[in-house]
Amino acid sequence: MELMCVVQSYDWGEKGSKSTVATLMKASSFSYSLDESKPYAELWMGTHGNGPSVVKEKGVPLGLYIAENSHVLGQAVQEKFGSELPFLFKVLSINKALSIQAHPNKEHAEQLHKSQPEVYKDPNHKPEIAIALTPFEALCGFRPISEIKQYFNAVPEFRAVVGEDNILELSTSDEAGLNTALKNCFRNILTRDPEFVALQLRILLDRLSHLDECGRQALNGALLEKLHSQYPGDVGCFGIYLFNWITLQPGEALFLGPNEPHAYLSGDCIECMACSDNVVRAGLTPKPKDIETLVEMLTYNCEPASAKRFQPFREDECTEIFRPPIPDFAVAKITIPPGRATYNLIPRSTASILIIINGKGEIGQSKVLTQGSVIFIPANEKVNVKVLCGCHPMLMFQAFVNL
């Protein structure tokens, strides 16, 4: 069943035809009006109340259709999640950095929703995966302690914001005390006087302007300048010295479990998450921050950037699958190579949503789907794809429940 999906126009999105979200929508609907001055940030595919998909042929919201036909979810999904689709599938097009944030685990989400329902609007957790469609930049997880210490020495402005007492504690702590010491450093950064933070950023930016290219690269100069131009004086700009800076190439992925600090910076990606809006923010944002909650909830695990890439495994010659360690969702990347006429999708025991990123195919009874088409596939459905333009790879992503 083909779906009509919702586009979210947040100010951090890419504008007009530069946005993958916009080009997918335009390609799948000749009547779609594309505004070159408008940011097209997210395409939502699912049942979330803030942007529910609609079953095209029936004109009813997907959530309502599922509630009235819950067998389409599959037995295992009904037993674990009831008559609801437990994931939200998205395409993101990012021009401006999203906030430094983390998502609570299930138990913590329930507590936050109970104590602050106006801020944390549902009791669900929000693990998520991002799979790059274009080169995709992000900050993800704390750097190894050795790298953070190197930046203390190389960036006196960063050192000033952290504070000498906290740096001494981190430098002299044994392994058992490192998490607490890093937590104290992070808390001090986020609670520093904003005017002092802004002054140190100005000093650092002025110093960068006098360095050669090698010196600028050593201090992540171009990234700092970009973030500061987007969020002038924001303490989150110093996050580039605390968190891993990662660039994913198309097809590479990040999985973000509970309490993992991160910020998406630029690029386009497929994203899948548990069906929730719970976000705890602390920097690179004009939105309300909840610094104490974020400081207390983070795990403070320090790993190299290479450890943050989430690896898929191959199911057959056309399909590789990203299976995170949670039941809410998994995502398959399906690439039908040039010259291949047909492909049978691997049947899933749960309901799924499929989006075509590139290519054109015929599915089912003469249903022609093009770039940007989105379909809902009931559990255990057998689907054959007949490729209609075989001179380029046909690329699709399929999200389903990880049971």
Q: What are phi and psi of 374, to 5 degrees?
A: -130, 130
| Model pLDDT, residue 368 | 87
Domains and CATH numbers, the chain: 3-140+247-308 (2.60.120.10), 145-235 (1.10.441.10), 313-400 (2.60.120.10)
| Model pLDDT, residue 31 | 75
Backbone dihedral region for residue 395 (phi beyond 0: left; psi -120 to 50: alpha; all else: beta)? beta
Q: What are phi and psi of 166, to 5 degrees?
A: -70, -40
| Model pLDDT, residue 363 | 87
Catalytic residue numbers, as ranges? 281
Q: Which amino acid is at 96?
A: K
| Model pLDDT, residue 118 | 77
CA distance 32 to 26: 5
- Number of Cβ within a 10 Å radius of residue 54: 18
Long-range CB pairs of 332-336, under 8 A, 24+ apart, other chains included: 332/397, 332/398, 332/399, 332/400, 333/131, 333/251, 333/395, 333/396, 333/397, 334/394, 334/395, 334/396, 334/397, 334/398, 335/393, 335/394, 335/395, 335/396, 336/361, 336/385, 336/387, 336/393, 336/394, 336/396
CA distance 244 to 138: 8
Q: What distance lies between CA 243 and its chain's CA centroid? A: 16
Mind listing the pLDDT tens digit for each residue in 92-141?
Answer: 999 999 999 998 888 888 888 888 887 787 888 788 999 999 999 999 99
| Model pLDDT, residue 34 | 87
Mind listing the pLDDT tens digit for each residue in 151-160?
Answer: 999 999 999 9
| Model pLDDT, residue 114 | 87
Residues 6 or more apart in contact with residue 295 via CB below 8 angstroms? 183, 186, 187, 190, 282
Question: Which residues of the chain fall below pLDDT 70?
Answer: 390
pTM of the model: 0.94
Q: What are phi and psi of 59, to 5 degrees?
A: 70, 25
